[in-house]
Amino acid sequence: MKEKIAQAKLLLEALPYIKKYANQIFVIKYGGSAQINPDLKNRFAQDVILLHLVGIKPVIVHGGGKKINDLLDKLQINSEFVDGMRVTSEEVMEVVEMVLCGNINKEITNLLNMHGSKAIGITGKDGNFMTATPKDNGKYGLVGEINMIDNRVIENLLEEKFIPVIAPIASGNEINHPGFNINADLAASKIAASLGARKVIFLTDIVGVLDKDKNLLSTLTKEQIESYKADGTIHGGMIPKVDACLEAVNAGVEKAHIIDGRVEHSLLLEIFTSDGIGTVIRN
């Protein structure tokens, strides 16, 4: 009986958040590093469906770094990372699109559908809803910077109660252009800003942003981000993630969260409990 009462109390703890977030858009970036085993993937799908059922509008943007590396290795195609971005030749772009759209996007979409939702997987090429130009004058090859998002495509899906699952590839907006590889973190923040999302949440493979002594930083300011980037405390894949957080909150998203996708139900813990987990960056 005691256990049952504790369960009821737990549900009640979520009530104020359910009220507060009804009808709000949450953009969730599902990192490749957090897509590690079938159990965790199922938990992720359950969490997203629960959010949807209580009236939140989840929009999923996914990464896929590890799987892209695996296929590039198999095909013996070299690729390197500069500033946390994958330098993308046409050959690499073909593999990026195959893995992100052909494989991971359909896997996540199918998983959500099998757990009871209606998810639809798309890329920026669908409805030409996300276009880009070369980032930093082509310094990273076909890595793009988003220059236009047509909200109508996502809004129509949300209106009809679909969960959009977005692969971070943008249209080059030209005939025969192979498209652009967009860092998934930056795609998530741009999409969150464009849709007027309440939150953007990054699920990754670490507890949050760590300081030099590996302690979790539960909050982060713009000044801290600049100094941790300058001294190398924040490096590699964490660079675009914190940049994406800043970009989102500067554009009016209330909070950006970086949380541990390896922890079961980390999404629910972050959203529906007063303590939360991970690192929060706010406006």
Binding site for Mg ion (CB under 5 A): 237
Rounded least distance, CB 235 to ligand ATP, Å? 5
Kindly state whether residue 233 participates in binding ligand ATP, applying the rule CB under 6 A: yes
CA distances from 187 to 47, 111, 169, 220, 231 (A): 22, 22, 9, 21, 26
181 binds, among Mg ion, ligand ATP, none (CB under 5 to 8 A by kind): none
Figure out which of the listed residues 58, 65, 141, 278 binds ligand ATP, where binding follows CB under 6 A.
65
Figure out which of the listed residues 107, 126, 155, 205 binds ligand ATP, where binding follows CB under 6 A.
205
Cα distance between residue 61 and residue 217, in whole Å: 24
What percent of the chain is helix, strand and coil (3-state, nearest 5)?
Answer: 45, 25, 30
Figure out which of the listed residues 27, 165, 200, 209 binds ligand ATP, where binding follows CB under 6 A.
209
Name the phi and psi angles at 28, rounded to 5: -115, 115
Rounded least distance, CB 62 to ligand ATP, Å? 7
Cα dihedral 201→207→209→214 (10° resolution) = 180
Cα distance between residue 157 and residue 155, in whole Å: 5
CB atoms within 10 A of CB 206: 21
Cβ proximity to ligand ATP: between 32 and 141 the closer is: 32
58 binds, among Mg ion, ligand ATP, none (CB under 5 to 8 A by kind): none
Q: Which of residues 141-200 bind ligand ATP (CB under 6 A)?
A: 184-185
Cβ proximity to Mg ion: between 66 and 265 the closer is: 66
**Count of residues making up the chain:** 283
Cβ proximity to ligand ATP: between 42 and 224 the closer is: 224
236 binds, among Mg ion, ligand ATP, none (CB under 5 to 8 A by kind): ligand ATP
Figure out which of the listed residues 24, 33, 103, 218 binds ligand ATP, where binding follows CB under 6 A.
33
The answer to whether the CB of 176 falls within 8 A of the CB of 232 is no
CA distances from 16 to 20, 105, 189, 271, 272 (A): 6, 33, 26, 11, 8
Cβ proximity to Mg ion: between 188 and 220 the closer is: 188
The answer to whether the CB of 220 falls within 8 A of the CB of 281 is yes
* Amino acid, res. 234: I
Kindly state whether residue 256 participates in binding ligand ATP, applying the rule CB under 6 A: no
Cβ proximity to ligand ATP: between 64 and 164 the closer is: 64
| Nearest Cα residue to 41 out of 91, 104, 98, 111 | 111
204 binds, among Mg ion, ligand ATP, none (CB under 5 to 8 A by kind): ligand ATP
Which residues make up the interface to ligand ATP (CB under 6 A)?
31-34, 63-65, 184-185, 204-206, 209-210, 233-238, 241
